[in-house]
Structure 1
Amino acid sequence: MAVAATGRFAPLVAPKPSTPPSPHPAHSSRFFYNPAAAAPYCDARRCVVRCEGGVARRLSPVDKAETAKANLLALQQLKTSGIERYTKEKSSIAVIGLNVHTAPVEIREKLAIPEAFWPQAIAELCALNHIEEAAVLSTCNRMEIYVVALSLNRGVKEVTEWMSKITINKDDDDSPFHQQISGVSTSDLLQHRFMLYNNDAARHLFEVASGLDSVVLGEGQILAQVKQVKKIGQGVDGFGRKISGLFEHAIIAGKRVRTETNISSGSVSVSSAAVELAQMKLPQSSYANARVLVIGAGKMGKLVIKHLAAKGCSKIVVVNRTEEKVASLREELKDVEITYKPLPEMMACAAEADVIFTSTASETPLFLEENVRALPAVATEIGRRLFIDISVPRNVESRVSDLEMAEVYNVDDLKEVVAANKEDRLQKAREAQTIIFEELHKFEAWKDSLETIPTIKKLRAYVERIGASELEKCLSKMGDISDKQKKAIYDLSMGITKKFLQGPMQHLRLDGNNCRSRPDEILENMHAVNRMFELEKEIILEKVRTKVERAQK
Structure 2
Amino acid sequence: MAVWALGINHQTAPLDLRGRFAFALDQLPHTLARFRGAVAPQPEATLLSTCNRTEIYCASEHLALEPTVAWLAQTGGVSTQVLLDHAYVLKEGEAARHAFRVASGLDSMVLGEAQILGQLKDAVRVADEAGALGTTLHQLFQRSFAVAKQVRSSTDIGAHSISMTAAAVRLAGQLFEDLQDIRVLFVGAGEMIELAATHFAAKNPKAMAIANRTLERGESLAARFGAEVLRLSDLPERLHEFDAVISCTASTLPLIGLGAVERALKKRKHRPMFMVDLAVPRDIEVEVKGLDDVYLYTVDDLAAVVQTGKDHRQAAVAQAEAIIDAGVQSFLHWMDQRDPHGGVVGLIRDLNTQADAWRQAELARARKLLAKGEPVDAVLEALARGLTQKMLHGALAELHAGDEHTRQQTADTVSRLFLRGAPRA
TM-score scaled to structure 2, two decimals? 0.54
1:472 to 404, 408, 412: 404
Which residue type is aligned with residue 99 of structure 2? L
The answer to whether the aligner puts 1:161 opposite 2:50 as a matched pair is no
The answer to whether the aligner puts 1:429 opposite 2:320 as a matched pair is no
Q: In the aligned structure 2, how far is the partner of 1:474 from the partner of 1:219?
A: 59
Q: In the aligned structure 1, how far is the partner of 2:198 from the partner of 2:108?
A: 17
Change (3 A) 1:187 1:255: same
1:76 maps to what in 2?
Answer: none
1:137 to 31, 48, 62: 48
1:191 to 85, 104, 107: 85
Change (3 A) 1:225 1:273: closer
Q: In the aligned structure 2, how far is the partner of 1:432 from the partner of 1:446?
A: 21
Q: In the aligned structure 2, how far is the partner of 1:456 from the partner of 1:200?
A: 22
Which residue type is aligned with residue 447 of structure 1? M
Superposed displacement of residue 125, structure 1: 2.1
Superposed displacement of residue 103, structure 1: 1.0
Change (3 A) 1:494 1:106: closer
Q: In the aligned structure 2, how far is the partner of 1:327 from the partner of 1:348?
A: 5
Match of 1:234, SS state, is: helix
The answer as to whether partners of 1:206 and 1:436 remain within 8 angstroms in 2 is: yes
1:483 maps to what in 2?
Answer: none
Match of 2:58, SS state, is: strand
Match of 1:151, SS state, is: coil
Q: In the aligned structure 1, how far is the partner of 2:27 from the partner of 2:250?
A: 19
Q: CA RMSD in A?
A: 5.1
Change (3 A) 1:490 1:250: closer
Q: Deviations over 1:246-267 (max 9, x none)?
A: 1222122222222222322214
Which residue type is aligned with residue 143 of structure 1? T
The answer as to whether partners of 2:5 and 2:57 remain within 8 angstroms in 1 is: yes
1:98 maps to what in 2?
Answer: 8
Alignment of 1:15-94 (within 5 A): 91-94=1-4
The answer as to whether partners of 1:111 and 1:184 remain within 8 angstroms in 2 is: no
Change (3 A) 1:276 1:236: same
Alignment of 1:208-287 (within 5 A): 208-267=102-161, 275=169
Superposed displacement of residue 199, structure 1: 0.8
Task: State the identity %.
Answer: 29
Q: In the aligned structure 2, how far is the partner of 1:328 from the partner of 1:107?
A: 26
Worse-superposed segment, 122-131 or 103-112 = 122-131
2:412 maps to what in 1?
Answer: 493
Match of 2:108, SS state, is: coil
The answer to whether the aligner puts 1:441 opposite 2:329 as a matched pair is yes
Q: In the aligned structure 1, how far is the partner of 2:44 from the partner of 2:3?
A: 9
Q: Deviations over 1:26-68 (max 9, x none)?
A: xxxxxxxxxxxxxxxxxxxxxxxxxxxxxxxxxxxxxxxxxxx
Superposed displacement of residue 492, structure 1: 6.3
Q: In the aligned structure 2, how far is the partner of 1:291 from the partner of 1:234?
A: 48
Structure showing greater radius of gyration is 1
Unaligned ranges ≥5, structure 1: 1-90, 169-182, 280-288, 295-304, 318-322, 350-359, 361-414, 459-465, 476-488, 503-553
Change (3 A) 1:215 1:473: closer
1:454 to 334, 338, 343: 343
Match of 2:200, SS state, is: coil
The answer as to whether partners of 1:292 and 1:316 remain within 8 angstroms in 2 is: no
Match of 2:13, SS state, is: coil
The answer as to whether partners of 1:164 and 1:185 remain within 8 angstroms in 2 is: yes
Q: Relative CO higher for 1 or 2, CA cutoff 8 Å, sep ≥ 6?
A: 2
Q: Deviations over 1:106-163 (max 9, x none)?
A: 11111112211111122222221134200100111111111113321xx111111111
The answer as to whether partners of 1:467 and 1:493 remain within 8 angstroms in 2 is: no
Which residue type is aligned with residue 404 of structure 2? E
Change (3 A) 1:202 1:277: same
Change (3 A) 1:456 1:471: farther
Which residue type is aligned with residue 444 of structure 1? L
Q: In the aligned structure 2, how far is the partner of 1:327 from the partner of 1:149?
A: 52
Which residue type is aligned with residue 65 of structure 2? V
Superposed displacement of residue 494, structure 1: 3.8
The answer as to whether partners of 1:137 and 1:144 remain within 8 angstroms in 2 is: yes
Unaligned ranges ≥5, structure 2: 174-178, 185-191, 202-207, 211-238, 275-288, 290-304, 348-397
The answer as to whether partners of 2:32 and 2:132 remain within 8 angstroms in 1 is: yes
Superposed displacement of residue 101, structure 1: 1.0
The answer as to whether partners of 2:13 and 2:86 remain within 8 angstroms in 1 is: yes
Aligned residues: 286
The answer as to whether partners of 2:182 and 2:243 remain within 8 angstroms in 1 is: no
Q: Deviations over 1:333-369 (max 9, x none)?
A: 679xx997747575999xxxxxxxxxx9xxxxxxxxx
2:294 maps to what in 1?
Answer: none
Match of 1:101, SS state, is: coil
Q: In the aligned structure 1, how far is the partner of 2:325 from the partner of 2:6?
A: 22
Change (3 A) 1:316 1:213: farther
1:111 maps to what in 2?
Answer: 21
Q: In the aligned structure 1, how far is the partner of 2:52 from the partner of 2:29?
A: 20
2:57 maps to what in 1?
Answer: 146
TM-score scaled to structure 1, two decimals? 0.42
Change (3 A) 1:467 1:435: same
Q: Give the structure with the higher percent helix.
A: 2
The answer to whether the aligner puts 1:122 opposite 2:63 as a matched pair is no
1:200 to 94, 98, 102: 94
